[in-house]
Amino acid sequence: MLPLRILSRFAGKVLNATVPEKFRESLYKAYAKKFNCNLDEMLDEDLTHYQSIAQFFYRKVKPEVRPIDKKAELVSPVDGRVLQFGEIINNEIEQVKGFTYSLNALLGYDGNSKKEKTIIFNKDKLIKSLNRLPSHVNMSHQKFLKTYSIDSSKDLEKMKENNNYDAFSRHGNKLFYCVLYLSPGDYHHFHSPTNWIIEKRRHFSGHLLSVSPKVVNLVHNLFTVNERIALIGRWKHGFFSMTPVGATNVGSVVLTIDDKLKTNMPYRKQVVKRRAVKYGVYSERSYDNVSVLLKGIPIHRGEELGGFQMGSTVVLVFEAPKSFKFNIKPYQKINIGQAISK
């Protein structure tokens, strides 16, 4: 009932207001002390260069302080804390002990979509937005599939024709999930947790309730009613998705691969009206025109995919063999690049 969207946009304006240079260092140091920010990790350590609190909040860190575990097939996409993880049973994800929420509702498999205009991607612009190394730029799509053991779009179609693939998983595999919470003091860019192909994104213009652990324990179906962006695709074991979830005071969620995305918009400007959200309605954009072979955007483990303007949550949902094991503990603090799987 609270006007959280209006309050969040107002907070965004306040956080983006220019801070006089003489106050910046003392203000940001006070913020860092309050929320345990590690200023030594900042890529640009000069605090006077950050013109607003929002710029400081969205600061970048030195690449060397977030090494990517190359031995792990799945790593953390964010700096944050582990809230929940485990196997998905009957397409239900455990939010906290005692109640669950629907996987279909989270990703929009039981609702209606409004298709957006097809993006004509500029390859050079896409490569630049992902900050790719030369080896990534020069990797052909055929080599990408072979190197990371991912099925081509043709292989995927054959499996579906042979009834060997449903909405989420192949026969013999299981579905797993992992929920990671970012506090106000964390680094707020999110990166790719694995080598995969992003086929489409779905934008749900929902509410902006807080996603702090206390609220997660109180509000049922929190992650299916909040504004979120579901990135959907496939990896070496099949289905893979990554869903950044908006929250109170999140000015926007940014995607490096899609600068057309606009979040936290007034309801009158949204593609999908507010009253339709609870029925699973969303706007969808496909990336299949990037590659005929891949039917999506090839993403390498560790590549930056976007970020939040304030604290929030990322939900991973993926299929894997029955032997898949997590390498994390509940409420564990974790950084980008650390192994999630054994």
- Average pLDDT for 158-166: 68
Identity of the highest mean pLDDT range in 78-92, 149-163, 204-218, 223-237: 78-92
**What are the residue ranges spanned by the domains of the chain?**
1-65, 73-334
The pLDDT confidence band at residue 223, using thresholds 50, 70 and 90, is low
Residue 163 has what pLDDT? 65
CA distances from 158 to 55, 163, 170 (A): 47, 9, 12
Instruction: From the candidates 79, 151, 186, 258, give the one annotated as an active-site residue.
Output: 79
Q: What is the pLDDT of residues 64-121, one digit of tens each?
A: 999 999 999 999 999 999 988 999 988 888 865 556 778 888 888 865 666 666 667 7
The pLDDT confidence band at residue 190, using thresholds 50, 70 and 90, is very high
Residue 96 has what pLDDT? 56
Mean residue pLDDT across the chain: 82
Cβ burial of 136 (10 Å; 0-12, 13-18, 19+) is middle
Whole-angstrom distance, CA of residue 322 vs CA of residue 340: 16
Residue 121 has what pLDDT? 74
Active site residue 241: no
Least confident range of 32-36, 53-57, 125-129, 244-248 = 244-248
pLDDT of 12 > 80? The answer is: no
Residue 2 has what pLDDT? 56
- Average pLDDT for 9-33: 83
Instruction: From the candidates 188, 191, 203, 207, give the one annotated as an active-site residue.
Output: 191
Residue 204 has what pLDDT? 84
Q: Which has the higher per-residue pLDDT, 265 or 184?
A: 184
Question: Which pair of structure tokens corresponds to residue 238?
Answer: 């099949």
The pLDDT confidence band at residue 47, using thresholds 50, 70 and 90, is very high
Cβ burial of 106 (10 Å; 0-12, 13-18, 19+) is buried
Residue 157 has what pLDDT? 79
Active site residue 113: no
Residue 95 has what pLDDT? 67
Instruction: From the candidates 153, 252, 283, 312, give the one annotated as an active-site residue.
Output: 312
Least confident range of 19-23, 276-280, 314-318, 323-327 = 276-280
**What is the four-CA torsion angle of 91, 302, 208, 326, rounded to 10 degrees?**
40
Identity of the highest mean pLDDT range in 129-143, 226-240, 254-268: 226-240
The pLDDT confidence band at residue 6, using thresholds 50, 70 and 90, is low
Q: What is the pLDDT of residues 270-321, one digit of tens each?
A: 444 443 444 456 888 888 888 889 999 999 999 999 998 766 889 999 999 9
Active site residue 191: yes
Q: What is the pLDDT of residues 111-159, one digit of tens each?
A: 566 666 666 777 788 888 888 887 787 889 999 999 999 998 888 778 7
